[in-house]
Structure 1
Amino acid sequence: MHVVVRTGPFKGNISGCNPKTVCDDENFGGPSWGSFLGRKDGLTASQTGANKALPSAFDPLIAIASKFAAVGLDSRDLVALCPFIWPRSLFLTPRLYDFNKTRKPDPTLSRTQLKILQKSCPRGGNRTALTNLDPTTVNTFDNRYFSNLQASAGLLQSDQELFSTPKSNTVEMVNQFSANQTAFFESFVASMIKMISYISVLTGMEGEVRTRCRRVNNI
């Protein structure tokens, strides 16, 4: 995994990158890419708006795909970007103990994975505890996430639905990315650039270029 770093309103040439892009830091392996400069930040934030627009760990696949499509991202973007998260136990416990209010675990979860996750997220335990999305190669960004889905070992309900939803075109993509890490990396880079560079771009007098990324300039 690579972290895109922006230190101010502009940044010079780094590690041979084009001066018009900001390069990523290599921390966990995986592909390299550059991000376009010039995107402005908003002046306000809305938790309600974010909760409505962002996919939930409990959303069915059709709802997640609809939210992606609303901002111009397709099914391939959805599958490629799904490994990009570290979930908390509160998103797992319903699947482990009361899936769809049945008082039983999610039947698509393998028995082995169920025992592992119940140990990490015991009933009534710390709901804020973080869990690795890919327990097999924790510190490496690779395609093992997709192999886990094939083995019914997806962590979140929304993860496993990528492979367990009958007749979904996401099943073929999971199989492709599991078999071909290069194909996954190429799609991940394209989808990351698409997501961070082209969604809800502010133009004209909208927004500002922040001198500090964490806050608006007048604070």
Structure 2
Amino acid sequence: MSSSSYTTFLALSILSLLSFSAHGQLSNAFYARSCPNVQAIVRSAMAQAVRKEPRMAVSILRLFFHDCFVNGCDASILLDDTATFTGEKNAFPNQNTARGFDVIDTIKSNVEARCNATVSCADILTLAARDGVVLLGGPTWTVPLGRRDAKTASQSAANSQIPSPASSLSTLTSMFAAKGLDARDLTALSGAHTIGQASCGNFRAHIYNDNNVDPSFAALRKQTCPASGGNSNLAPLDIQSPNRFGNEYYKDLIARRSLLHSDQELFNNGTQDALVRQYSNNPALFAADFANAMVKLGTISPLTGANGEIRLNCRKVNS
């Protein structure tokens, strides 16, 4: 082989390898040609949903978090149970509390009308989670795209890998570390609880049994969360601004007015106290760290390339 021929062959080989590598990676411009309007379509549908019910933004964000923590960001949480298949929707952390599936269905239908069999449910959920945060005044970030959808799900993994509202700081730290997320990511992502609500059954033990809680705040919450019964009664996670994304959550932690035990674990335990104080005083720092952590969360073990599929219906695998 001549020198010039070898050089051409080598260049083509490198390009081929780069092309193969990119095919298996997420990309900021993944749908630039195949579905250039996908982000606008998702944003429009989320705007309608959040105008109707601001809480929907955090419901979609929660779906995204619970999806990514179980076998990666693969839309497995969206799969319905069937006579022969048990998915994640009825796992303990999701049962009767996971919501927003109809919103994802609407977005998927809108996307399919413009770009048939092109955009995954996993990417739609990732974009919708980002847009919900933005719509309530939170930061924005660039979402790497190119995920594909799982053909299966794991109820057992959902039961064991999603943190509980009763989790200790050491448990939270180890569970996040298992997903490639460090303690700073944990503290920043927990700030998602600046919006949304929790049910009495998830915070009763904290307000009745914990010492690390402000007595007047506990008394307030007990008014709608009796010692027994009323498990489905709701209370805001952030008493100051339940429908606005901001750093008030961290101020609540310092005041020991956090609704969940797992949240209050981030303060008065030493290791995260300094960061909590920084976020409470510097909303820009919190916003930047939250955005960075959301990108990391969204890249946990995605299916790419020839793995998985592009579901036509987010609730079931393709026939």
| 2:178 aligned with 1:70 | yes
Question: 1:129 and 2:240 equivalent?
Answer: no
- In structure 2, give the amino acid aligned to 1:48: S
Report if the CA contact (8 A) 2:150-2:309 is conserved: yes
Counting matched residue pairs gives 199
> Do residues 180 (structure 1) and 290 (structure 2) align?
no
Where do 5+ consecutive residues of structure 2 fail to align? 1-56, 62-103, 112-117, 121-126
Paired with 1:108 and 1:55, the residues of 2 have a C-alpha distance of 20
Give the equivalent residue in structure 2 for 1:195: 297
Of 118, 131, 156, the residue aligned with 1:24 is: 131
2:191 is aligned, of 83, 95, 100, to: 83
Q: Distance in 2 between matches of 1:32 and 1:48?
A: 33
1: CA distance, partners of 2:302 / 2:318 = 19
Displacement of 1:55 after TM fit?
0.9
Which whole-Å deviations, capped at 9, do the CAs of 1:47-100 have from their partners, x for residues lacking one? 211121111111110011101000100011101111325322111112223xxx
- 1:138-196 CA distances to partner (integer Å, 9 max, x unpaired)? 2110000000000011111111110121x31x111101100000000001111111101
Which residue of 1 is the match for residue 145 of structure 2? Answer: 37
Contact conserved, 1:87 with 1:131, CA < 8 A, in 2? yes
Q: Aligned partners of 1:29 and 1:125: how far apart in 2?
A: 35
Deviations 1:104-162, CA, capped at 9 Å, x for gaps:
x2111001110111112112232123321101112110000000000011111111110
Structure 1 window deviating more from structure 2 (42-51 vs 134-143): it is: 42-51
Name the Cα RMSD after superposition: 2.3
Tell me if the contact between 1:24 and 1:34 (Cα under 8 Å) persists in the aligned partners: no
- What are the residue-to-residue correspondences of 1:88-167 with 2, within 5 Å? 88-97=199-208, 105-165=209-269, 167=270
1:15 matched to which residue of 2?
none
- Name the aligned partner's letter for residue 58 of structure 1: A
Q: 2:309 aligns with which of 189, 198, 208?
A: 208
Structure with greater helix percent: 2
1: CA distance between counterparts of 2:236 and 2:152?
32
Aligned-pair CA distance for 1:213: 3.0
Question: What is the alpha-carbon distance in structure 2 between the residues aligned to residue 215 and residue 173 of structure 1?
Answer: 42
CA distance in 1, matches of 2:160, 2:232: 21
TM-score of the pair, normalised by structure 2: 0.57
Matched to 2:316, the amino acid is: R
Q: Name the SS for the 1:175 alignment partner.
A: helix
Distance, in Å, in 2 between the alignment partners of 1:120 and 1:130 is 8
* SS in structure 1 at match of 2:153: coil
User: Per the alignment, do residues 216 and 130 of structure 1 end up closer, same or farther by CA in structure 2, a change over 3 Å counting?
Assistant: farther
Greater radius of gyration (CA):
2
Q: Mark the runs of 5 or more structure 1 residues left unpaired by the alignment.
A: 12-20, 98-104
Does residue 151 of structure 2 align to residue 47 of structure 1?
A: no
CA distance in 2, matches of 1:179, 1:139: 20
**Matched letter for residue 119 of structure 2:** F
With the length of structure 1 as denominator, give the TM-score of the two structures.
0.82
